[in-house]
Chain A
């Protein structure tokens, strides 16, 4: 049997407002609440609520044969808890079926693994707690931000007690190896690695609504037929994508919702497939082969590397400045300062600074609320400077001031 592992990433960042030099030291409200709530509300109405409903119905109709997984970032959960609690409720209902696995990640969808290992562990622990509190399950699987993969990530994740890790099936890592097998990451004893089948995933996530694509329109039967051509020895097909793909990035009239609803039935026609959660798929496969990932890979863009986050000098300067500030943030002992710092650690902030203008640049522009990548950098660095001042402020003054400004 070949497991079909459908996993959706759900994430919303705390987007910054236009924060100028003249705000530094005067105003420590960094985030654009109006924008953040508007986007969350829109995505909730177009994607989270209708697609969650659809998945729940499919699970019930198939009597549990249809299964999938989610990772919902801590920043998204925090926003949902505040502004759209009904979305949290609907995820909780999916978890309660026992057919939907919730994975862990860093609470702030951050690049902490690259910036500071202690912070990485702290954010993973925070995310476990949040998922347990809001969704009602304890995550056993892990996915790193943007599926950033590295041998050290795998070892750290095993140490943290996870059973399965999700990663990108990048050609330059796998070489001749098949992304449709379950692997053992190099240096791990127990942990199993499930890879994203980027070809099949991107058929759904990106090409589905492209009318210029030779395979458009893609029917569930045609897609199931492609999967059926995989060798019989295939352990799994990792269909990993942003959840927002289903109803937000690709508009509902592209038929993506109908496609997803019909996919389980189309796959059941080929008897070799069964839907599985990542933990189930990992448990059922032997993981005979070891795969090493000495360089960093991700699921983004044509390069499948970190160039979308740390590809230009602004991005590297911002990332470096952020983590240089972390010791002072910890030392100052102010939980509000740490909370704001963590919101700044969300990878989206450096992603907005990307200057890749080739075909991937369109994707970047779609996801950014800034006019230019440079504007994103300017605001971020100004905010960081204000945060740095707050770490130096004497405790008593700080308490009085933040109490006043937050009131």
Chain B
């Protein structure tokens, strides 16, 4: 299994998903060898064998030019934003090699190391998560003569919309074309792959991600008494922060006590702050910056409703994190999570009036928020990693039998 991050060193949902799936597969009797660009040794392995491509038994003579891959690599980063993002990553800083700032070189280097590793290990199938591991997956599967399964957690068209990087799209296309089977995290994503990558039906399977365990509301007293509407996620094109603000302006006009929290950072943060000022909402909208750990929980605990107005969201784990903390959620119809959460309100991301109506309804009708939270809790219980692992094992059997 090839992936880019593994807890605790994660930047987003991908690492969490790889972790949950790999561990559940291991628990179900599948031997999983998980190859990261660089293993730090403190990964939460739980039955999964974790190997860093940099520590693979590849001699310097074979690959004389290589340096350890920077663990700050993360698939949410566009090539353009790669350098600044690396500066705030959680992993300990590592010395920069001559490829340090070039994402595509890192991807290529990972692929070559994994290919070498593939010649020294035995395995029945290669399972590669998202585009950065696709070249490595293709190389490893070819070297070992085993089937390739690619797992799409998001595609470039989701992340960047019209600003999609053609180089990344090309890598994705190559991986999807080379794969014997494609797993996507939602029917929504499957449809995107059909449309944008012409991926054909027999190879395309949907396996939804799992939900985090229920944690309930925190005991801490509420920071603010006023109703709070939460946006939590990267402040990027994909997450639709602009639509959140347009809806917030309508809610603010109708409900003068309402407050809004934008938790997260990203390339649209500066323009989002400017837009808040332009809308006259400076005193109503609060920015927290990037949150981690307990701060995320506190943000949920302070919220009366969580809104995810994503333009395109292959799955969307954050709404399930909100559900786990007992917060009612409103999600974009253009999301995978909407498929597994009947007790989420849904709106088209661009329909800011509908979004505002739904936010106002949750804030003004306690019965609605409670029904949503209780229903979503039941629905989230059905979403386990062991269920996803069973589906993936069945695919392994089918293709690698």
A interface with B by C-beta (< 8 Å): 18, 20-22, 312-314, 316-318, 355, 357, 371-372, 374-375, 377-378, 381-382
Contact = CB atoms under 8 A, between A and B. Distances in A.
Contacts of B277: none
Contacts of B345: 372, 374-375, 378
Contact of B365 (A316, A317, A375): A317
B289 to A, nearest CB: 31
Given A372-B345, A374-B371, A374-B372, A20 B365 contact: no
A357 B367 contact: no
B343 A20 contact: no
- Give 5 closest A-B pairs by Cβ, nearest first: A317-B367, A20-B357, A378-B361, A313-B367, A21-B360
Contacts of B356: 21-22
B90 interface: no
Contact of A316 (B354, B360, B367, B375): B367
Given A22-B254, A314-B371, A377-B361, 15 more contacts: A18-B354, A20-B357, A21-B357, A21-B361, A22-B250, A312-B371, A316-B367, A357-B342, A374-B343, A374-B372, A377-B365, A377-B367, A378-B345, A381-B368, A382-B357
B353 A314 contact: no
Contacts of A374: 343, 345, 368, 371-372
Given A313-B370, A377-B365, A381-B365, A372 B346 contact: yes
B358 interface: yes
Nearest to B361: A378
A18 B365 CA distance: 17
Contacts of B250: 22
A371 B341 CA distance: 13
Interface of B is mostly: helix
A374 B365 CA distance: 11
B342 A377 contact: no
A374 B250 CA distance: 21
Contacts of B370: 313
A315 B372 CA distance: 13
Nearest to A377: B368
Contacts of B368: 314, 374, 377-378, 381
A314 B373 CA distance: 12
Contacts of A18: 354
B256 to A, nearest CB: 14
Contacts of A313: 367, 370-371
Interface in B136-158: none
Contacts of A378: 345, 357-358, 361, 365, 368
A313 B372 CA distance: 10
Nearest to A316: B367
Contacts of B361: 21, 377-378, 381-382
Interface in B258-312: none
A22 B360 CA distance: 10
Contacts of B371: 312-314, 355, 374, 377
A355 B376 CA distance: 11
Interface in B336-361: 342-343, 345-346, 353-354, 356-358, 360-361
Contacts of B343: 355, 372, 374
B357 A371 contact: no
A248 B92 CA distance: 66
Contact of A371 (B254, B346, B360, B375): B346
